[in-house]
Amino acid sequence: MKIAADHNKLWNQCLEHIGNTVSEQAFETWFHSIAMIGCTGEEITLQVPNRFHYEWLESKYSETMGDAIQKTFGFSLKINYSVLIQPEEDSQEKINKVDSLIPKKFHRASQLNSRYTFSNFIEGKGNQFAKAAASSVADGPGQTPFNPLVIYSNPGLGKTHLIQAIGNHILKTQPKMRVIYVTSEKFMLDFIRSIQNNNSTRFTQYYRNVDILILDDVQFFQSKEQTQEQFFHLFNDLFQQGKQIILTTDRHPNELTNLKDRLVSRFQSGLIVDIQPPDLETRIAILMKKAENEKLEIPYEVTEFLAASFTDDIRMMEGAMVKILALSSLTNTDITKTLSKTVIQDILGDKAFKKISMQEICKKVSQKTEISETKIYSKSRQVDFVFARHVAMFLCRELTNNSLVHIGNHFGKRDHATIIHACKTIEEKINKDKHASELVDKIKSELQ
């Protein structure tokens, strides 16, 4: 199907319009890789990387795309999708892809991993503020009020990725700056060795002669008084020189009960930000980005299944994807939901698959909200009914391993975009409304 030059120009304008309508992350994830491969006066044909991509665009962005086409082309066009067919690959090629997942070498001088960049850090509601602060520090180390910058969260949510992205950005834009990334454990071991080898002066010079100090897992310093003392003096020296200090910990500094008050006070003099667990859509985007970076083709149902199975640890979720790929390659079997279940069972053990049915969830929600099950399943838009329905959908996603499609079918053949919207609504409500939070926690507790 021949494409006129003016059609290409209009399509580029259409993309610009979409880019002004959706978030930057959404555009990069869902629209950047679309190619127009055909256009007539009645329809437009777009090529997308995989079936999942097509289904997501259809369910979530069909109105956005239709509106953009109407405004740029001047009339409506029927949108057809063409899924890019990947050539078959042999077992050795699959194994090579597994090998490619192994991290590249570290930058020796800084100890930074070059794979950690802002461009492959997936931004979502839970980490938006932390990423903005990190980007600001990376653009002007030591020149913002964010010194020190302290990022805290539960393990596996991207703290290390974010702080190393700061270091890598600085090395790229200001290569003469001396950047050091170190874990708290390594810092302590270096300090101990300097005492054993009677060369504490070298230790002091090494760490004080930096422009940016990035220290991971500060909670490791708890109860280690001499190490805390050494770090306290290092912190003061770097701070007085206007050097940038970046720290992470697994909880708010105020909760580090075995850390000296004067250290906690120093941490509070800058900016403290947290990272919350990502929502389902962000987790799916993380997996898709990783697959895209590694040129992997992961089936839609497996991507969704993985994202639904790991809610609180992104590192574990990505590790599961690597293990699934490795098992598929080494046994020469397809990547399927059944294979994924085997891997997830190995990783999560007995808690992998909860035996709570969606019927049980709806019944319990009905009891606690005093809304009949009939009303929960109905299409009524009455506020109380909608709230109970959304809670039920949210808990079906949280407490079962059913796909979004299956959950949608259970609630009257609603599409998976509707389920995602319901889950987001409840997540926002329990963060703001104490009564709603207590209700959801009580229902979840009784079901479990």
Say which residue, 1 or 435, is predicted with more confidence: 435
b/e burial code for range 195-222 (CB count within 10 A of at least 16 → b): eeeeeeeebbeebeebbbbbbbbbbbbb
321 and 391 fall within a common domain: no
317 and 248 fall within a common domain: no
Q: How far is CA 32 from the centre of its chain?
A: 19
Residue 139: count of CB within 10 angstroms of its CB? 14
Q: How confident is residue 152, by pLDDT bands cut at 50, 70 and 90?
A: very high
Cβ neighbors of 144 (< 8 A, separation 6 or more) are: 136, 137
Tell me how far apart the alpha carbons of residues 7 and 15 are, in angstroms, rounded to a whole number.
12
Q: Is residue 299 situated within a structural domain?
A: yes
Q: Which of 49, 83, 117 is the last residue of a domain?
A: 83
Q: Are 171 and 177 in contact (CB under 8 A)?
A: yes
123 and 269 fall within a common domain: yes
Q: Are 254 and 267 in contact (CB under 8 A)?
A: no
Q: Which of 245, 274, 303 is the last residue of a domain?
A: 274
Q: Is residue 265 situated within a structural domain?
A: yes
pLDDT over threshold 80, residue 402: no
Say which residue, 100 or 401, is predicted with more confidence: 401
pLDDT of residue 301: 80
Say which residue, 85 or 367, is predicted with more confidence: 367
pLDDT of residue 5: 61
pLDDT of residue 89: 46
Triad 117, 122, 128: Cα angle to 5° = 100
Residue ranges of E strands in 132-279: 149-152, 179-183, 212-216, 244-249, 271-274
299 and 327 fall within a common domain: yes
* Rounded mean pLDDT, 296-323: 82
Burial class (CB in 10 A: 0-12, 13-18, 19+), 185: middle
Cβ neighbors of 31 (< 8 A, separation 6 or more) are: 15, 18, 19, 22, 61
Best-predicted range by mean pLDDT among 49-58, 180-189, 305-314?
180-189
Q: Is residue 397 situated within a structural domain?
A: yes
Instruction: Determine the 3-state secondary structure of 205 from DSSP.
Output: helix
Structure pTM?
0.58
* Rounded mean pLDDT, 233-244: 93
Kindly report which listed range (9-23, 134-148, 201-215, 289-303) carries the lowest average pLDDT score: 289-303
Count up the domains in the chain and report the number. 4
383 and 364 fall within a common domain: yes
226 and 322 fall within a common domain: no
Q: Is residue 381 situated within a structural domain?
A: yes
Share of the chain above pLDDT 70, in %: 91
CATH number at residue 187: 3.40.50.300
Q: How far apart, in Å, are the Cα atoms of 119 and each of 49, 68, 138, 283, 294?
A: 19, 26, 13, 16, 14
Give 338-347 contacts, CB < 8 A, sequence gap 24+.
Answer: 340/302, 340/305, 340/306, 341/305, 344/306, 344/309, 344/320, 347/316, 347/319, 347/320, 347/323
294 and 372 fall within a common domain: no
Backbone phi, psi, residue 79, to 5°: -100, 120
72 and 133 fall within a common domain: no
Q: Is residue 206 situated within a structural domain?
A: yes
* Mean pLDDT computed over every residue of the chain: 84
pLDDT of residue 302: 83
pLDDT of residue 73: 84
pLDDT over threshold 60, residue 105: no
Kindly report which listed range (23-27, 405-409, 439-443) carries the lowest average pLDDT score: 23-27
Q: How confident is residue 274, by pLDDT bands cut at 50, 70 and 90?
A: very high
135 and 269 fall within a common domain: yes
Element at 35 (helix H, strand E): strand 35-39
Q: How confident is residue 25, by pLDDT bands cut at 50, 70 and 90?
A: low
Q: Which of 48, 83, 118 is the last residue of a domain?
A: 83
Q: How far apart, in Å, are the Cα atoms of 174 and each of 120, 141, 178?
A: 20, 10, 9
Q: How confident is residue 350, by pLDDT bands cut at 50, 70 and 90?
A: low
* Rounded mean pLDDT, 102-111: 54
Look at phi and psi of residue 111 and say left if phi exceeds 0, alpha if psi is from -120 to 50, else beta: left
Task: Tell me the residue range of the domain where 388 lies.
Answer: 358-447
